[in-house]
Structure 1
Amino acid sequence: MKFNALFFFLAVSTCVQAQYTYISDRRFFEPADLIGYKFLPGAMEIPNEAERDLEPGEYSFGVTANNLYIKGEGISGVYNINNMQPQDYGIKIFLMNARDARLQGHLKVIQNKWGMVESLIFKRSKNDREIIFYQVPATRELKSKEKSYFTDRGELAIAHTDSIWGTTIRPFLVMHRNENLQQRLHMSDSTYVTFIEEINIEKKEVKKKKKSRLAEGKKNKKSRKNEKAEMDNVDIELATSEEEEEKIESDTMATEAPKIKIKITKEYFVVLHSYITNRDGGQEYKIQKYPVKKINVREDETANLQEERFQWEFINDKKENIYLYLNGDKTVSRMEIGADNYLMRGF
């Protein structure tokens, strides 16, 4: 049984330290891109009345397919979404209060020219005033740290399927499609994907026996007891006797030096390192390893250099859907593992 969107919103937000969402976190190209996203603004303003900074998580706006979940003093509640439409300034969400259908308002999503959200303007009903909530710009220090840690869209080039092994991808955003929710990742989440080639070397001794007949034995004195001789390239130990002279004719089994048989096998894995949110809201760090049998490559010849052109499908024993999407210049765009879509930084 899947847990609902509201529970997942609460579980994700309470299991990690509250943080702001930043202007540069995500680009939204159409209204549907908002579904599953949760805004955590850093400041608010009531025009001509008051403005102040907000604590992380003090106010939040979570968008699902049917509802807008708002947390914050004076406006908390669940608002039904009637419609979402593109506007010159961004996107407008038309709302209706779930408890009182007469209270119809809106949420204006204000975007810059790159599709990033700079502010949200909320109006609970026609009789209420608009309240402006501002997104926080990421600091230069944070941008520098995250740029060196996360994988940017269009940054990592992988020319061929056999050159992917040993590569690590660190996504920036996860879209949980079963719950229609988006999760912004942080460095502390330690979520990443590795592509591993394991080489196993097995050594086994193979002994071969050689049968040789020795000719007539030579004289052997007691004083030379236990002396070794080399005949026909086979090491043997000469027989000893109490008699001074003895003729020996016998079959002796001698072994060659053992030969080493080496068997080399290669195994390939896609390994996902991430936190899993349980039904009780707790989190568990898990390492999921998917054995790969082969890679199927598909190409969309109509896509250009900066669009997704290649799809690599990793066929695995667990029969989990694993896809890696590359742009026309063979750089990584995003990855799908099961029902989750992992986006690189810059979407």
Structure 2
Amino acid sequence: MIPLANVCINEDEVDAAASVVKSGWIREGERVKEFEEKFASYVGARYAVAVSSGTAALHTALLSLGVKAGDEVIVPSLTCIPPVSMTVLAGAVPVFCDIEPQTYNLDVESVKRMITDKTKAIIPINYAGHPAALDVLSEIAEQHDVCVLNDAAEALGSTFNSRRISAYGGLSIFSFSPNKAITTGEGGMIVTDNGDLAEKARIIKDYGQQPRFHHIMLGHNYHMGELNAALGIAQLKKIDDILTRKRKNAQRLTQKLSGLSQIKPPLELSGCMHTYCLYSVKVKTNALREYLLAKLPEVGVQSRVYFPPMHSSPMLKNFKFRIDRLANTKDAVSTLLSLPTSAALTEDQIQYVSASVAHILDSFFGP
């Protein structure tokens, strides 16, 4: 099976993990601090706070911003659940806005319609690794005195107008789960240029204590361990090579799929750098998407739908939320399909994936 994603791990990570075990210190310590410093330098932020997952990063970031009961947080429905569930966990109301049809990111006109004096934050997710309209979203946020909480879980290394995407918004979060550009097994990072927000995040992720056993706010155990940080340090050394290979493989796959009238490959808009955490194609109809989804595993190609609509999640039946007209979202969730996008893909595998898609499309329409 050609997987959607592969981790790029070798003896460097083995040696890094072994050194932690041999040291006898495996909970958060000096390696976490080193990872934070090196990560902040890479993304161009003043502060970085390591946590146990991207989900923990979102929750900690929301709490650091003071999001609470009665507040509203703008999110897309085309997203993984954490921006929604962490908004609810913080006590706030998710407000689902539509996406634009080119990159599947938050539509600024929808945001303008749905923002109110209750809005506390806007969370763009930079779908699949392509930056959202971060400049316009930042302007809207500034006009309404709210924060852009930039969810860059899928977009490490992505740039917008020649700037790292963490340059936009009061806070950005990253995820290091195994399908991301680099992995720590599980882990996340909050980055910001605001020292007060960074300090709040550190307290919240450490049981709300400062100093030890003196709990000044409600907090959580969201620590990153030394083993995770050691993997992150080793992985970060490879990030540029990983992203170069992922982009090259995505471009090759786009070239091979571009002649198929039933498939629309992902776009990279001018001024943006797409890092292809996902390689999501738009299939002409839902029936054809479902046929590809069923048939590709039979020929050894993994595919997946990223994502179902979160506004329809059963989890929300017990919680309040608001929703805009979601015409583009409804179209995207019924027609998007993600194909393999690993940095480890070979030319033969890319050819096989594209040929398999073409063959299955032909079989759908018959002889």
Please give the TM-score of this superposition, normalised by the length of structure 2. 0.23
Question: Would you tell me which structure has more helix in proportion to its own residues?
Answer: 2
Structure (1 or 2) with the larger CA radius of gyration: 1
Please give the TM-score of this superposition, normalised by the length of structure 1. 0.24
Higher relative contact order (CA 8 A, sep 6+): 2
